[in-house]
Amino acid sequence: MKLPGLSPRIHSLPKAELHLHLEGSIQPTTARALMARHGVKASEQEVLERYGFHDFPGFLEAFKWVTSFLREPQDYALVATDLAERLLEQNVVYAEATLSVGVMLLRKQKAEANFEALLRSTEPFERRGLRFRWVFDAVRQFGAESAMEVLEAAKTCKSKRIIAFGIGGDELQVPTAAFRPVYERAAELGLHRLIHAGEVGGPEKIREAIELLEVERIGHGIAAIKDPVLMDLLAERKFPLEICPQSNLRTGALAHLLAREDVRIEDHPLPGLLRHGIPVVLSTDDPALFHTTLPAEYDAAKKMGLQESELEQICEMGFQYAFDPASKHQTT
């Protein structure tokens, strides 16, 4: 798992993953295993082509396709076990994994049964040094009523390992204010709050999430680079952004932000955000779909011009801005 561009020091540091979608971690080989379970035939090439999208709509279609093979609790257990093994190989010791409960409910699945299978499959990895916490995620374009159902599923599951509620999907759909009662309910249930914003939307989406929903972290947030006043606010409040560089490159979000097509990872705004004093946590988002790993994201950050000390700082912030207080003791 070592990359030649990274120092042994950065490789050896324990790491936290705070923006990681379980469904987006499904490797092509695992997808084929799930398909075989459910009697769906496809060649290796056909599956790989599904992972070859080039824009955000293509990504959403790929995500929709791969999750269609998560049909039973044992399917979720298989994916979680595979993810856990891969995280350990990357020296990840703490992960806040996002679970698309909104999709489960749309497909009339029992979220409690699926979640119980996830808990059983990941529990053995605690003894091996990897702790999972879970984010129950709603899909923005499904609307506020559906998002409230995700919260009720979290309440029914009654697990302290469900640490947060978030909303992903297409941030350009459904006004942010429509979700205000949902986030108020999440706070009542004692859940931390997240949302995807400023990925393909503008900086106003980030400001709305903070002011209307009172979220505690922003998923992506790269559009903040366009608004100096917002950047000052984020820096002053030490408000963390979950930055996923390879995701931004492969979905076309970075090209959209910079209003040009010939973008490279070196063009990413991460250095400007970090050096402005904004907390940044580095993550993979959907590692299988984006063909990345956490070490690869640190390597990408180095290619952007970050110094060794800055990479160490980002690694520390992964624990500092985690929602589980116990994670803050895992940086050594």
Point out the residues that are catalytic.
199
Tell me how far apart the alpha carbons of residues 314 and 309 are, in angstroms, rounded to a whole number.
Answer: 9
What CA–CA distances, in Å, run from 199 to 44, 92, 158, 170, 218? 31, 25, 32, 9, 10
Tell me how far apart the alpha carbons of residues 261 and 137 are, in angstroms, rounded to a whole number.
Answer: 31
Coil, strand or helix at 238: coil
Cα–chain center distance at 173: 19
Tokens encoding 332:
């050594």
Tokens encoding 83:
């993810």
- The DSSP 8-state label assigned to residue 285 in this structure reads B
Q: Yes or no: say if 299 and 288 are a contact pair by the CB < 8 Å rule.
A: no
Q: Determine whether 9 is exposed, middle or buried from the number of CB atoms within 10 Å of its CB (0-12, 13-18, 19+).
A: exposed
